Amino acid sequence: MENTAENKKIVLSAIQPTGTPTLGNYLGALKNWKKMSAENDCIYAVADLHSLTVRPEPQQLRRRTLDMYAILLALGLDPEKNIVFVQSHVPQHSQLAWILNCCTQFGEASRMTQFKDKSEKHPENVNVGLFTYPVLMAADILLYQADYVPIGEDQKQHLEITRDIAERFNTVYGETFKLPEPYIGKAGARVMSLQDPRQKMSKSDPNPKGFISMLDDDSVILKKIKSAVTDSEAKVRYAEGKDGINNLMAIYSCCTGKSYEETEKEFDGKGYGDFKAAVAEAVIEELRPFKEEFARLTADKAYLLECMTAGAEKAAHRAQRTLNKAMKKSGLFML
């Protein structure tokens, strides 16, 4: 049977243009975006509205938004078959977010760990946007009636609150939103910082040695992995207390498909130097096709803008259907 649009699952995800995506973003989320794109009805966004919560420099935000768009296409996403767009081009996201704000309790939003983490990181700018971030994220997802949301482990709590908000709206006003499921891969769901393996790798980390950017040169990747924090045991094995090595083993496994057991055998009797060189090589090979495609795409800005415009139109059309439903159900006077 032909896989028609009607029986495909709807997949929605987004990434903030807060910097070049890291290996963590790639293994935790973007790799799955690509994997799911052929079989499903996929909708992917550059979440520029979310990134305003950390007040980026305006010119930098504009440049990073275009770059992030090119990065998504360079993953191999097909802008004809999938919807790839920039969040602020589709005003329905902000409109639904307001309605959902009124269905979210102050107490439940206060329990979000990302709010606590980011407030600590930016104590000079703890804005209300940072607080309602998960509500905007709920709007992103619910507008498209998504079945699955491919995310890293760190966003699991936000997906749970999305489901709670949707369920509450449906109970109060009647069935409106589909309850989405997270899609979190096994390995790679939480790639840790190379410098502090107890913290997640983040593209907004002020120390670039902590993360590998998807566009880092091969020599930089090698250098960063060589200087990754490990332990003094000098034995490649996956075990409690070996956070640095566990992290490198997870990265190696994602890039090569080898299990932890196979890796332990492969490096039996060898030191961390050999292992790190192999991890670096695997990462470099994994990112190579993406980097080549990115270079090709950024040379064609007209094409990127054309795809961006078409993506926004398609997304807005879909989003408006759900927004109308939510407005009507909640009693807003419709013309």
Residues noted as catalytic? 118, 200, 203
Stretch that binds ligand ATP, among 90-98, 150-158, 279-287, 313-321 (CB under 6 A): 150-158
220, with CB counted inside 10 A (0-12, 13-18, 19+), is middle
Residue 16 makes contact with ligand ATP by CB under 6 A: yes
Q: Is 162 in the site for ligand ATP (CB under 6 A)?
A: no
3-class state of residue 318 by DSSP:
helix
Size of the site for ligand ATP (CB under 6 A): 20
210 forms part of the interface with ligand ATP (CB under 6 A): no
Q: Which stretch binds ligand ATP (CB under 6 A): 72-80, 186-194, 250-258, 321-329?
A: 186-194
Q: Which of 47, 45, 41, 30 is nearest to 4 (CA)?
A: 41
In the sheet with 148-150, reading across from the earlier edge strand, the strands are: 83-86, 41-46, 10-15, 148-150, 181-183
| 24 sits near ligand ATP (criterion: CB under 6 A) | yes
Beta-bridge partner residues of 15 = 46
Question: Could you tell me if 191 and 250 are in contact, meaning their C-beta atoms sit under 8 angstroms apart?
Answer: yes
Compute the least distance from the CB of residue 147 to ligand ATP, in Å: 16
Q: Taking the chain, what is the end-to-end CA distance rounded to the nearest angstrom?
A: 42
Measured from the CB atom, the residue of 211 and 275 that comes closer to ligand ATP is: 211
For residue 247, the one-letter residue type is N
Residue type present at position 216? D
Task: Output 13 or 263, the one with its CB closest to ligand ATP.
Answer: 13
Please report which helix (H) or strand (E) contains residue 54, including its range.
none
| Residue with tokens 């309605």, as numbered in its chain | 99
Q: Does 127 bind ligand ATP (CB under 6 A)?
A: no
Report if residue 25 touches ligand ATP, rule: CB under 6 A.
yes
Shortest distance in whole angstroms from residue 156 CB to ligand ATP = 8
What b/e string do you get for 253-287 counting C-beta neighbours within 10 Å, with b at 16 or more?
Answer: bbbbebebeebbeebeeeebeebbebbbbbbbebb
Question: Considering only residues 189, 194, 212, 214, which one is a binding residue for ligand ATP as defined by CB under 6 A?
Answer: 189
Residue 307's region, left for phi above 0, alpha for psi from -120 to 50, else beta, is alpha
CA distance 90 to 68: 17
Query: By three-state DSSP, how is residue 291 classified?
Result: helix
The nearest distance, CB 13 to ligand ATP, in angstroms, is: 6
Q: Could you say whether residue 322 binds ligand ATP (CB under 6 A)? A: no
We find the least distance from the C-beta atom of residue 25 to ligand ATP, in angstroms, to be: 4
Q: Where are the alpha helices (DSSP H) in 208-300?
A: 218-226, 243-256, 260-266, 272-298
- Closest to ligand ATP by CB, 41 vs 205, is 205
> Does position 204 bind ligand ATP by CB under 6 A?
yes
The amino acid sitting at 90 is: V
**Candidate ranges 15-23, 92-100, 170-178, 277-285; the one touching ligand ATP (CB under 6 A):** 15-23
Q: Of the two residues 121 and 168, which places its CB atom closer to ligand ATP in the complex?
A: 121
Answer yes or no whether residue 201 interacts with ligand ATP by CB under 6 A: yes
State the binding string over 241-280 for ligand ATP (x if CB under 6 A, else -): ----------------------------------------
The single residue among 203, 224, 242, 318 that binds ligand ATP, judged by CB under 6 A, is 203
Whole-number Å distance between alpha carbons of 118 and 114: 6
| Token pair for 269 | 């009797």
Stretch that binds ligand ATP, among 92-100, 173-181, 198-206, 277-285 (CB under 6 A): 198-206
| Residue whose beta carbon is closest to ligand ATP | 28
Binding site for ligand ATP (CB under 6 A): 15-16, 18, 22, 24-25, 28-29, 151-152, 154-155, 189-191, 200-204
